[in-house]
Structure 1
Amino acid sequence: MKLVVQVKLLPTPEQAAALEATLHACNDAANWASKVAFEKDVKRNFALHEHTYAVIKARWNLGAEAAQHVIKKVCDAYTTLKANLRAGNLGRPGSKRYRRAVENPVNFCTQGAQPYDDRMLSWQTDRRRISIWTIAGRVKDVAFTGSPEQLAALALYRKGESDLVYRDGMWFLNATCEVPEAPLNTEPVDFLGVDLGIVNIATTSDGEIMAGRALNRIRARERGLRARLESKKTPSAKRRLKKRRRKEARRAKDINHKIAKHVVAEAERTGRGIALEDLTGIRERVRLRKPQRATQSSWSFAQLGAFIAYKAHRAGVPVVYVDPAYTSRACAECGHIDKANRVSQSRFVCRSCGFVDHADRNGSHNIRARAWELWRRGAPSTAPAPPPKPRDGAGRKRSAAASGARCASPSL
């Protein structure tokens, strides 16, 4: 399976200047090629190549490989845009957001990511050095660093393209690795049900409750701090906001990784599969009071589910998604469904048999039972291959047409 290993580059000031100039040139060329593709309605690789290749090489001093990668990045962005429009991710046809997406060419930010293949980038993993192409020539002996696990995976499994990324004053390379998979366990002894929530991020049918109220207090404090800084509008407040940018997203991603790793390890150790709720479209289906909306939207349930799925896929643990309807209202003992069973957020009391349990734990037992029933009926594992991850290259329309729809998988 494909995973992405991210390593941090440690360039000298001269090397960093060459890398920055290269990103600027590549994304400037991509913006020009995007306008050509939009005006001429030419959005396939070979057709756009005829209109733009020679000009990109001459005007921006790009090599043949770099020019071709720029053209491919533009075509991938329009392919992603088309898929998002078809899926309804940009609203209904005729809406303001929809029209803004289709009536303007895709725009790439100045410091968007740029793909590199093995002819433009060479690795010396034993020395922790790379040699990379720039518009100023080949830059050699650029140092990089990473965790021991990342460096080991890079040395053993790296295969394919890598993305040069500049973020928050730091340089990174996202390298694609082909990591071997464990054979799928086709005879699980049972399933580990996982109930995802807001107050308690994940509750398993074993009774474990992970990342609860303490984390939510931190998130509420961060939101309050951001609101106060935004209201001040002073230069120092803006500097502080910039420094704290994406802090909550990084914390959420780290916790999601830890929860997913723990869940998959427990299922693998006990020979069980994993049962999850199919929460697709939950934000559109669920209606919340205004104070609850920020809390729900600030946590990535889809990310946690994707992390569990790809880690399970790698470990050979089967994953089954079940219908989430009434899992929080149904009694895990007698099956009685009643809205009144859910006495409070944390307390479940069955009105029929009197069964009492933690509400999230009761829900996880229902999820486990539904998954086991599906598996016994012959439902295959629905653990998907790692989902494509768009590169951080598009500017105004990043959500609609992220630059470079090339297959890039979750980070290691």
Structure 2
Amino acid sequence: MKLVVQVKLLPTPVQATALEATLHACNEAATWASGVAFEKDVKRNFALREHTYGEIKARWGLGAQAAQHVIKKTCDAYATLKANLRVGNLGRPGSKRYRKAIEKPIVFRAEGAQPYDDRMLSWQIAERRVSVWTVAGRVKDVAFTASPKQLAALALYRRGESDLVCRDGMWFLNATCEVPEAEPNTDPVDFLGLDLGIVNIATTSDGEILAGRELNRIRVRERRLRSKLQKKNTPSAKRRLKKRRRKEARRAKDINHKIAKHVVAEAERTGRGIALEDLTGIRERVRLRKPQRATHSSWSFAQLGSFIAYKARRAGVPVVYVDPAYTSRACAECGHIDKANRVSQARFACRNCGFVDQADRNGSRNIRARAWELWRSGAQSTAPAPPSERGRRAGRKRSTTASGARCASPSL
């Protein structure tokens, strides 16, 4: 199982200048190679190398390995674009967004990530130092910081390439690690249902609310402050906005990690699987009024699902995705479906049997029941493709069970 360990580099000013010049040169070369690939319609690695390899080395002073990685990165970008076009992520053929994607060559940001292999990057993990190739020569003794857990993962499981990343003036290395998986649980005693929502981010079938109103109050306050700063539009307001621009994303990622860790630990402790809703394409299917759009779209539920998937895969916990249709209107006791059952956002009262429950808990119980029914009917948990394979499989249709539910055992 592939996991990415991110460590923070602590370069000196001279080292940082060399790293920055390297990223700029590599991405400028990749943009040029992209133009050649677009003009000649040559988007395979070895074919494009014949047209660009010598020029990249001569014009930008890149080494042999760096030049090959630049060409490969360009081809991978076009492969990803092709896959996104095939599955409709960039609109329908002929739409404005679709035409914009195919009518011009791909352009790379000046500080876009650059892959490094072991010939260009060497790790001294015990000393917390790395040696990095740059256009100014080999830069040695670049310090990095990492937790003991990260250091152990790097020492035991690091395999393949690492990506050099610059974000907000900070430098990172993302190292790929091949982490062993736990033996999968093929005989769960039950499933732990998880209902995802706007007011309560996640509610389990055990009745536990993992992120609720307090978090939403913080999100509303942050959104109001951001709106005020945008309206002010002064230099100081712009500086504050730039400083805070990733704050919401960092908070959401941290909370999603905590929710996923708790859910997987509880399922593993009790010998259960995890039941999730298949919310693929929900934003395209749901139409909302303008005041509701920011609240509805500002939380990354797909990220939460991916975190649960890969953590569960490491723990050997099966994950089943079910059809979310009518889970909020159906009674978890008698199965009666009625729009009027949902009395309010927080309260569920069945019109048929009189069962009363917290609305999100009722929904999570329905999710649990559907997953358990699918599992007993023969549905199996299958692993979603890890990141390295996901691009190659992006155009393929998802496999479905006889009942139409997508089943997956987690991956990163």
Q: What TM-score results when the alignment is normalised by the length of structure 1?
A: 0.93
Distance in 2, matches of 1:313 and 1:159, equals: 19
Alignment of 1:12-411 (within 5 A): 12-387=12-387, 410=412
- Cα deviation 1:44-96 (Å, max 9, x = unaligned): 10110000000000100000000000000000000111111111111122222
Following TM superposition, by how much is the alpha carbon of 1:287 offset from its aligned partner in structure 2, in angstroms? Answer: 2.1
In 2, distance between residues paired with 1:388 and 1:158?
Answer: 15
1:286, CA displacement in angstroms?
1.7
AA aligned to 1:379 is A
- Does the residue aligned with 2:187 lie in a helix, a strand or coil? coil
Q: State the Cα distance separating 1:40 from its structure 2 match.
A: 0.8
Following the alignment from structure 1 to structure 2, what is the Cα–Cα distance between the partners of residues 331 and 340? 11
Counterpart residue type for residue 244 of structure 2: R
Question: 2: CA distance between counterparts of 1:57 and 1:287?
Answer: 51
Greater shift, 103-112 or 222-231, is seen at 222-231
| Residue identity in the other structure for 2:269 | R
* Distance across 1 between alignment mates of 2:322 and 2:81: 30
Distance 1:148 1:196 in 2: 33
What is the CA deviation profile of residues 17-60 of structure 1, one whole-angstrom value per residue up to 9, with x for unaligned ones? 10000001000100110111111111110110000000000100
Please report how far the alpha carbon of residue 150 of structure 1 lies from its aligned counterpart in structure 2 after TM superposition: 1.3
Structure 1 residue 385, shift from structure 2 partner: 4.2
Structure 2 counterpart of 1:195, which letter? D
Shift of 1:328: 0.5
How far the C-alpha of 1:289 sits from its partner, in A, is 2.4
Q: Is the 8 A contact 1:313 1:385 kept in 2?
A: no
Which is further off, 169-178 or 288-297?
288-297
Task: State the alpha-carbon separation in 1 of the partners of residues 386 and 188 from structure 2.
Answer: 22
Distance 2:218 2:386 in 1: 30
Give the C-alpha shift of residue 327 in structure 1. 0.5
The DSSP-based 3-state class of the residue aligned with 2:326 is coil
Tell me the secondary structure at the aligned position of residue 122 of structure 1. Answer: strand
Assess, with a 3 A threshold, how the Cα gap between structure 1 residues 390 and 242 changes in structure 2: closer, same or farther.
farther
1:288 Cα deviation from its structure 2 partner: 2.1
Distance 2:301 2:284 in 1: 14
Q: Distance in 2 between matches of 1:302 and 1:178?
A: 23
Which residue in the other structure is 1:8 paired with?
8
For structure 2, the residue ranges without an aligned partner over 5 or more in a row are 392-410
Alignment gaps of 5+ in structure 1? 392-408
Counterpart AA for 1:203: T
Question: What letter matches 1:54 in structure 2?
Answer: G
Within 2, Cα distance between the matches of 1:351 and 1:8? 56
1:287, 1:340 → 2: CA distance?
A: 21
Amino acid at match of 1:168: D
SS at match of 2:161: strand
Q: What SS class does the counterpart of residue 59 from structure 1 fall into?
A: helix
Deviations, residues 144-177 of structure 1 (Å, cap 9, x unaligned): 0012211211111111100000001100000000
TM-score normalized by the length of structure 2: 0.93
Structure 2 Cα separation of the partners of residues 196 and 150 of structure 1? 30
Contact 1:204-1:364 within 8 A present in 2 as well: yes
Distance of 1:381 and 1:96 partners within structure 2: 39
Check the 8 A contact 1:313/1:384 in 2, yes or no.
no
Query: Once superposed, what is the RMSD of the aligned Cα atoms?
Result: 1.4
Q: Deviations over 1:90-129 (max 9, x none)?
A: 1122222111111110000001000000000000000000
CA distance in structure 2 between the partners assigned to 1:11 and 1:19 by the alignment? 9
Question: 1:311 aligns to what SS in structure 2?
Answer: helix
> 1:389 Cα deviation (Å)?
9.8
Distance 2:10 2:95 in 1: 45
Specify which structure has the bigger relative contact order, considering alpha-carbon pairs within 8 angstroms and separated by 6 or more residues.
1
Secondary structure, aligned partner of 1:215: helix
Residues 224 and 389 of structure 1, relative CA distance in 2, 3 Å threshold: farther
Give the distance between the partners of 1:152 and 1:63, measured in 2 at CA: 31
Identity of aligned residues (%): 85
Opposite residue 79 of structure 2, the aligned amino acid is T
Q: Residue 90 of structure 1: SS of its match in structure 2?
A: coil
Shift in Å, 1:178: 0.3
Q: Do the aligned residues in 2 keep the contact of 1:252 with 1:299 (CA within 8 Å)? A: yes
Distance in structure 1 (CA, Å) of the matches to 2:389 and 2:148: 24
Q: Distance in 2 between matches of 1:91 and 1:111?
A: 28
Query: SS state of the match for residue 225, structure 1?
Result: helix
**Which secondary structure does the structure 1 equivalent of 2:122 belong to?**
strand
